[in-house]
Amino acid sequence: MAYDVHIIGGGMAGSEAAWQLARRGVKVRLSEMRGGGDMTPAHQGAGLAELVCSNSFRSDDHEKNAVGLLHHEMRQFDSLIMGAAAVAQVPAGSALAVDREVFSAEVERRLAALPTLEVVRERIDTLPAAGLTIVATGPLTAANLAQSIGSATGADSLAFFDAIAPIVYRDSIDMDVCWMASRWDKGETKDYINCPMTREQYRAFHQGLLDGEKTEFREWEASTPYFEGCMPIEVMAARGEDTLRFGPMKPVGLDNPHDATPEFPKGRWPYAVVQLRQDNKLGTLWNMVGFQTKLKHAEQVRLFRTIPGLENAEFARLGGLHRNTFLNSPVLLDRQLRLKSAPHIRFAGQITGCEGYVESAAIGLLAGLMTGTELCGSTWEAPPRTTALGALLSHITGDAEAETYQPMNINFGLFPPPHPGTKKKQRKEAYTSRAKQDLAAWRAALNNGQMPAHA
């Protein structure tokens, strides 16, 4: 099929960009190397938009949370990723978590139904010399293409490690020791499994994290830093004995019903808690929240089975790490995500330096809208910086300091401050209400002729 736009990479950003274009009748070729004989160190299969780290899209609260607001804004554009997440959703309290396999299958099903989209399983080794292109190859860009990108940008890409958390089979968890409760006992639902630890058990576990045999770095990886939002648990442990107790193993509010007494009928707080979150719709798989790790696999099995309730745990997947590469986008890309040295090429997703599933998909959504606007000969107007989409785009394409540019999740720190008179308790609602109003006006302008009509 002849095509108008070539999208390289079938992850979150590439799939979303393809959806936004093809559903408007634009002819798209989507190239994905997995399924064509190639694989990455982190992916398990060939499914489009495969989730390789957590199965959570984080908070879905669009009234007080920046990522929840981003969810809301993407839904206003009939986001593929948000639509598939709704189909694949599993219980996770106020968070939006999904069954990985159902989610990927739904993405593929929806894309396959678009008559102007062709998915081709092929590896692309060089940047196209001509033609509208969106590169959305993510943090695991194949070596040849990464080299081609490096040649085009004239600068070395930055890199860090993302670590992957283990997944446990639900029926191997001892519920006579563990119990169900919401995260830190917030909310009415009880969506998390809690494994309690005494002071002595926690200290032994902490020491085990420090002493456990770790994955060795290759020479070229030695200076690669970690992204704070996906820090391996043993790296956090090395920062101090109590770091984990104030982080992913925080016990506050989690009364252990197994320890209930007449004096404490709800039970007492344990010294520390390991929490697990449902990972699939069947409820058979649960991931260890915050337990990204670079421990060797045998060491993980040995150490994690010392956690009360997980003595007989069976693991569907053990933790690991993958290398993440991204562009110095404030220097290399213009305000429309185009490579300044080759403006027929746009970049989208994590390779631009955003972090997170939702953020990656959001930049793919914007890249699709930008490209569609260009095809129909209209002038692109960026989303207001007061919106989540606009704040994230502005950070990537110029607001961030190029010298210290690092991957960033969406957060209210990227937004212009609300009205100076806004009270502290009302600031989050002020951010979100302003964003919704401004997004509605911007979306109306797009629908008034700047974008081609839906197919």
pLDDT, position 445: 86
pLDDT, position 220: 45
Q: Which two tokens stand for residue 396?
A: 């990537």
pLDDT, position 224: 65
pLDDT, position 408: 83
pLDDT, position 188: 67
The residue count of the chain comes to 455
pLDDT, position 452: 54
Annotated binding site for FAD: 9-14
What are 107's strand-pairing partners?
Answer: none
Backbone angles phi, psi at 196, to 5 degrees: -85, 150
pLDDT, position 453: 52
Angle at 102 between CA 97 and CA 104, to 5 degrees: 90
The ranges of the chain with pLDDT < 50 are 220, 455
pLDDT, position 240: 96
CB 447 within 8 A of CB 101: no
Q: For 413, left (φ over 0), alpha (ψ -120 to 50), or beta?
A: alpha
What structural domains does the chain harbor? Answer: 5-157+327-450 (3.50.50.60), 164-323 (2.40.30.260)
Cα separations (Å) of 3 from 21, 38, 341, 405, 429?
Answer: 11, 24, 23, 35, 43
Integer-rounded Cα radius of gyration of the chain: 23
Annotated binding site: 9-14
DSSP secondary structure letters along 203-258: HHHHHHHHHSPBPPPPGGGTTPPBPGGG--HHHHHTT-TTTGGGTTT--TT--BGG
- Give the C-alpha separation, 307 to 449, whole Å: 59
